[in-house]
Amino acid sequence: MRTGVVLALAAALFVSLARAGPQYPALSGRVVDETGSLSAATRARLTAQLEAHEQSTTNQVVVAVVKSLQGYEIAEYGVGLGRAWRIGTKENNGILLIVAPNERQVRIEVGYGHEGRITDALASAIIREEILPAFRRGNLEEGVDRGVTAILRALEGTATPAPAQAAPEWAAQDYVHLLIFLMILAVIVGQFWRNARRASRGWHDPWGRRRDGGWPGWSTGSGGRSGSFGGSGRSWSGGGGSFGGGGASGRW
């Protein structure tokens, strides 16, 4: 009896482990839409756009609109999907734009080879500024289209990366100039103070000036210093790329 119970539990555990992990959709093309959110015309246009980009650069970019994340975090789902589909070449130059309308989440998953070009900050900016505004208006197609365009521009080097933070009010050279000014001012004030003390100990006027009009302890002259202060329809598949979790996510 006990042996039967143990075997039954072992079998149940084996089945559970065998089913562990999300069930990914099949890679049917450069645009995979499980939800029917994208029109046929939009899918065809995006496919042609992504195919042309791949032919000119070898980068593989795929759009995936999925029914469910199956209880997983979209970051975990995304890296698993990228690895399962093997998006990108051996240079790991794949990018995934994943949209989960039912969970109202979106992610840009970046392959190893592009983590230097599409940083987490840039991926976040694309989601925040290009994709989410359209999604919040209820226009999923526009958001996907704008997201794809921004991703391709970034890969082609024509995007302007969003700064991680606002530019400082003062540049570095301004602080250098201020420091030099304060040092000169300190020398002048110090000399003036020493002269005043000498005057209080017997010079002819409170400024420490001699009768001949000279200033004790001073020599005048001029000088200068210059310097710079440095400051689809056809058969298609992934090419064997891999992912390590780079990218960014968003919600709406």
Under DSSP, the state recorded for 251 is E
In DSSP terms, 243 is beta-bridged to: 111
What pLDDT, on the 0 to 100 scale, is given for residue 173? 67
Q: Which of 21, 15, 97 is nearest to 59 (CA)?
A: 97
39: tokens are 């029109």
What pLDDT, on the 0 to 100 scale, is given for residue 113? 85
Q: Can you tell me whether residue 62 is helix, strand or coil?
A: strand
What pLDDT, on the 0 to 100 scale, is given for residue 123? 96
What pLDDT, on the 0 to 100 scale, is given for residue 184? 86
Q: List the pLDDT tens digit at each of the 252 positions of the chain.
A: 455 544 444 444 444 444 468 899 999 999 999 999 999 999 999 999 999 999 999 999 999 999 999 999 999 999 999 999 999 888 889 999 999 999 999 999 998 888 888 999 999 999 999 999 999 999 999 999 999 999 999 998 865 555 444 444 555 666 777 888 888 888 787 776 676 665 555 544 544 455 444 444 443 343 333 333 233 445 556 555 668 788 999 999
Q: How far is CA 108 from CA 9, 42, 155, in A?
A: 40, 19, 13
222: tokens are 């001029």
Distance, CA of 223 to chain centre: 48
What pLDDT, on the 0 to 100 scale, is given for residue 221? 41
- Cα–Cα distance between 15 and 9 in angstroms, integer? 10
- Cα–Cα distance between 136 and 156 in angstroms, integer? 28
- Cα–Cα distance between 243 and 75 in angstroms, integer? 11
- Domains in the chain, CATH or no CATH each: 21-164+240-251 (3.10.310.50)
- Cα–Cα distance between 127 and 150 in angstroms, integer? 9
Neighbours of 99 (CB within 10 A): 24
HSE of 24, CA atoms in CB hemisphere, 13 A: 19
Q: Can you tell me whether residue 72 is helix, strand or coil?
A: coil
Let me know: does 106 contact 64? Beta carbons within 8 Å: no
